[in-house]
Amino acid sequence: MKIQRQLNEYLTKHRSTLLGVGPMSLNCIDATIELANDYNIPLMLVASRRQIDSEVFGGGYVNGWTTPKFSRYVTDKDKKANVILARDHGGPWQNNKEKEAELSLSQAMESSKASYKVDIDAGFQILHIDPSIDIFGVPKVNVIIDRICELYEFCWSYAQQQGKEIIFEIGTEEQSETSSTLEELDYVLEIIFDFCQKNHLPKPTFVVAQTGTRVMETRNIGSFDTPIRVADEIPADILVPKMIEICKKFGVFLKQHNTDYLSDEALKWLPRLGIHSANVAPEFGIAETKALVKILETNGLESSSDEFLQLAFDSNQWEKWMLPNTKATDRDRAIIAGHYIFASAQFVEIKQR
């Protein structure tokens, strides 16, 4: 497969970590395309279902785009075909409408399959299979693995029918400030690779492992970037090489999520440690929000800035990012939520003004 060969060639020739960019806004998407083409390097746009989804779900909060519209926009602008379209956190209950409707497991699985079908039709090349969310309780690892296998086989079969090339990323958990156990990583890969072999499916290309990164508010509070040893935690410089050993055993690339707000020194360690790919998302959205507020306030448009920040605050999109006993101000909260409302009619009206 072309995409598999492209990644194999790039990641084996270059001692680098492939960046997955969350498409937080139109400007973020444009910047990703521009950089990929100017520097002639591959970059991934990793869209969650809340950001971009099919027409059935009303699209997503990013530019109000549906999956096909997003794909067409990127493909048309990406003249050198360096941008890889990827679904991030696909799976049941990964779209808020599925949660709000309190879909049953079977309904949520069918709903996520419908979303994946649109991804495949639209030319997404990497699908992250992530059934770690369950609105009825925390699923055990074996339950998650069963759901991964069901979705994996479905997506591959549909892609074959449609003549589309796809590769897979698997992951079994939400972000955590601690790291995955090596035993669990080995176990998950063994079960899924055995399933793929028995059912004549391609092995996954990426596996997401928790290396100790966690984003809250506007910082990374995980153990990856702390100079202080965390109790019961293996330091990243010891843990990650062991994860890489396991990945090499199965011939899969290691992917790190929640790479936002790491120090420059920590980021330098990603390729040194052998992490093949890393996602960054909210940090880009917040950087754009801060830049916008600064432009407004330094050009005598304080009233427009205040109106924008009030809209962002009232959206309550900041809630899931807050730490217990937070000291964040309402302004801090608004800046965290700013990019979620860029496509809203109220913000567009402020911008046009």
* Torsional sign, CA 220, 317, 319, 87: negative
Handedness of CA 258, 262, 266, 270 (dihedral sign): positive
**Residue 229's pLDDT is what?**
60
Q: What average pLDDT does range 305-331 have in this prediction? A: 98
pLDDT at 15 over 50: yes
Question: What angle, rounded to 10 degrees, do the helices at 26-38 and 282-298 form?
Answer: 110
Q: What is the pLDDT of residues 158-174, one digit of tens each?
A: 999 999 999 999 986 55
* pLDDT digit string, tens, across residues 231-256: 566 788 889 999 999 999 999 999 99
Between 227 and 156, the higher pLDDT residue: 156
Question: What is the pLDDT at residue 14?
Answer: 87
Looking at residue 319, what DSSP letter applies? Answer: G
Q: Say yes or no to pLDDT of 56 above 70.
A: yes
Choice between 306 and 179, residue whose per-residue pLDDT is larger: 306
Question: What whole-number distance in Å separates Cα of residue 195 and Cα of residue 223?
Answer: 33
Q: Are 296 and 308 spatial neighbours (Cβ–Cβ below 8 Å)? A: yes
Distance CA 155, CA 201 (A): 11
> For 108, which DSSP code?
H
| Mean pLDDT to the nearest integer, 312-319 | 98
pLDDT category at 177 given cuts 50, 70, 90 is very low
What's the whole-number mean pLDDT along residues 245-268?
A: 97
**CA angle, 82 then 8 then 27, to 5°:** 25
Partners of 12 in beta bridges: none
3-state secondary structure of 320: helix
- Tell me which amino acid residue 126 is: I
Is the pLDDT score of 178 beyond 50?
no
Task: Report the pLDDT value the prediction gives residue 211, as an integer from 0 to 100.
Answer: 92
pLDDT tens figures, 195-219? 999 999 999 999 999 899 999 999 9
More confident residue, 327 or 1: 327
Hey, what domains does the chain have and what are their CATH numbers? 2-280 (3.20.20.70), 285-352 (no CATH)
What are 64-89's pLDDT values in tens digits?
999 999 999 999 999 999 999 999 99
Mean pLDDT score of the chain: 94
Q: How far is CA 204 from CA 51, 127, 170, 252, in A?
A: 24, 10, 7, 7
- Residue 173 is predicted with a pLDDT of 55
* Six token digits for residue 298: 């330094």
Q: What is the Cα–Cα distance from 65 to 47, expressed in whole angstroms?
A: 11
- How far apart (Å, rounded) are the C-alpha atoms in residues 240 and 132? 22
Burial class (CB in 10 A: 0-12, 13-18, 19+), 235: middle
